[in-house]
Structure 1
Amino acid sequence: MSSNLTQLSKPHFHLFVGLEDDFETYFDHFKEEFSKIQSYYIEGRRCRTTDYLLRQFSSNLKFGLHYTYTWPGFYEIMSEDLEWEDWDGFAIFIMNYDLVMKDEENIEGFGFDYQNKVFTELMIEIAEEWAVGRNYNPTFPTLPRSFHVIYHCEKEKERETVARLKKYGLHEFDITYLDEITTN
């Protein structure tokens, strides 16, 4: 399973179902086994609003001071600024995805549904861009690199999490049960 997270091919998105400890262990194992893939860990409990989500990404991915904590700023950093890193790819592990933006208030129509749709669409676009490479500057083209997002939820949240991913436009993802990995 781990090698799928280093490939350029789809799916770029994965749902891991199981205990938090197993997800953390898998993350640690992945980082060790694939040291040329830059791996990031995002804790869903700390991302209960859009603002906290953007700040958690900024903190964990070490966005620069010019980052603006907006969706356009997020897209720019994720699709352009990461290219300067010398990695073969990127893997973002999001623990307890079912809690991400869960406390988002509906302010002028920009509540939970809107923010989740924007986040999902941006992540899809970013993953697809990284997979094919980019040529924003002909002098310095960006080679294709793997970009995978690994969502986590506990078993009792699986149905709700799958429905949420599909509702906001993510239809290509695989599901892995962590207890199957840890017992093999």
Structure 2
Amino acid sequence: MDVTIKSLDGKDAGTATLADDIFGLEPREDILQRMVRWQLAKRQQGSHQTLGRAEIARTGAKLYRQKGTGRARHGSARAPQFRGGGKAHGPVSRSHAHDLPKKVRALALRHALSAKAKSGGIVVIDELKAAEGKTKAMVKTFADLGLTNALFIGGAELDANFTRSARNIPQMDVLPVQGINVYDILRRQTLVLSKAAVEALEERFK
């Protein structure tokens, strides 16, 4: 699959051939769904918790005698039906993460890249570098390129000026190639790859 490489100022900077085994697969929605679900479950905080009756700091004495009062046979003020008692079946701190095979995760990334390529949502830039870290200048650059909702994937190390100028722009994300993931690819309309990112991805899946 051949694509035109562009520079940040909108000029053509040559062509590149994208590997068909990474960018040319027929996307499978079931694999992408499993991967997104795995990512969202893994990052879910899961720290919400209430106190059960065993954790309430309250007297353990019996409320009143067992028989002869005409009332119910209560034995603890920590019971859920009393004000100040423990919560019945409340949430507890836990991890929401579940397992997903490493091969499925790798396949999902290739399918996500292929889905973007099939929809025409991939742009290859020669270098993600900016002369100065000014957001106003970068907004104009993105507007000239026709980018309104994009994920930028740079090389192993990102240019500080480019990152600084792009990070405050709404609906624009910047990640190094090590941080590329299915969820961020799918949530943005356009995937912008640097030449270094394309080479790193092809080396990774070789």
Normalising by structure 1, what TM-score? 0.27
Question: Which has the bigger relative contact order, CA under 8 A and spacing at least 6?
Answer: 1
Q: Which has the larger radius of gyration?
A: 2
